[in-house]
Amino acid sequence: MSDAPNDIVIELKDVHKAFGAQKVLRGVHLQVREGTTLVIVGASGQGKSVILKHMLGLVKPEQGEVLVFGRDLTRIRAREVKEIRTHFGVLFQNAALFDSMTVFDNVALPLRERTKVGEERIRASVMEKLDLMDLLGAEDKYPAQISGGMRKRVGLARALMLNPRVVFFDEPTTGLDVHKSNEIYRLFHRTQQQLKYTAVIVSHDVPKIFKLADTVALLAEGVIQGCMSPEEFQLAENPLIREFVETTMGPIYSSDKEESILYETL
């Protein structure tokens, strides 16, 4: 599949989706190129996660095409969708760890269920991934016993377990403080350098996420308002993008300041 004529990994063409009477997506066009990082931004409730769910094949559009590795997820059989998903890694918004399993078993699950690797080698590679995520010592804990930031790191370790080609991040830093989110970004950067995966990130951690992005797309009013590099995005003419940049950049910088004051006083 890597010898595809172009380097577009995922492409959404004119995707429409409504939940009941509420029209969420009204003709979304989007392309993700191999090895790059696409960040989808937008106000809450605009359907950013819905776009992600379309790419994962969890939700079917009413109209339009979702092409992953050149194949239309809406038209192929469930088995092929499953085959495509073997190239995916997903970090869910709430990490979606299996809460009745230990951290170790969570990270080991993809290996146990999808490969025939022996238990010894599973142990070695799980410990290696946990080490990479600074999680050594937490392997026997249950998800409810660890902090939110650790849970995200476990989720990331699990997502990267089988060296996926594409990794999806749904709000990777929501609910984390500045230090913890920087930690996640650092791990993201390090693992992407190492494993060379394509990343699709849904986030509204706006100024910071731009440093990681190759492309930024704004979802507003059910369509993608512009898909461009972070620099172009910040200078874009489109009134909706301008409004987004102006409203989000301001408050977030000031909240940074507030938080750093908080840390100094502690």
Partner 1 sequence: MVQFLEKLGDQCLHLLEQLGRMGIFLFACLWCVVKPPYKIFPIIRQIHFIGSRSIFVIFFTGAFTGMVLGLQGYYTLRKFGSEGLLGSAVALSLIRELGPVVAALMVIGRAGSAICAEIGIMRNSEQIDALECMAIDPYKYLMAPKFVAGVLSMPLLTALFDVVGILGGWLIGVVLLGINEGTYFQAMYASVEWQDIKMGLVKSLVFGLLLIWIAAAKGYFLHFERGGGFGAEGVSRTTTDAVVLSSVAVLLWDYLISAIML
CB atoms near residue 18 (< 10 Å): 14
Burial 181-207 (b: 16+ CB within 10 A, else e): bebbbebbeebbeeeebbbbbbbbbbe
Piece in contact with partner 1 (CB under 8 A), picked from 79-87, 118-126, 185-193, 204-212: 79-87
Based on the shown chain and the rule CB under 8 A, indicate whether residue 92 belongs to the binding site for partner 1.
Answer: yes
Q: Which residues 97-136 are close enough to bind partner 1 by CB under 8 A?
A: 97-100, 109-110, 113-114
Q: How far apart are CA 229 and CA 210, in angstroms?
A: 9
Taking CB under 8 A as the binding criterion, the range among 8-16, 25-33, 90-98, 258-266 that sits at the site for partner 1 is 90-98
Both tokens of residue 142? 């249950």
Residue 109 to residue 111: CA distance in whole angstroms: 5
Q: In this complex, which beta carbon is closest to partner 1, that of residue 61 or of residue 226?
A: 61
Q: How far is the CB of 154 from partner 1 (least distance, A)?
A: 12
Give me the least distance between CB of 22 and partner 1, in Å please.
15
Rounded to a whole number of angstroms, the minimum distance from the CB of residue 58 to partner 1 is 6
Token pair, residue 129, equals 């991934």
Other beta carbons within 10 angstroms of residue 42's beta carbon come to: 22
Of 128-187, binders to partner 1 (CB under 8 A) are 158, 168
Backbone angles phi, psi at 136, to 5 degrees: -60, 140
**Nearest approach, Cβ of residue 25 and partner 1 (Å):** 18
Chain residues binding partner 1 by CB under 8 A are 56, 58, 82-83, 85-86, 88, 90, 92-94, 96-100, 109-110, 113-114, 158, 168
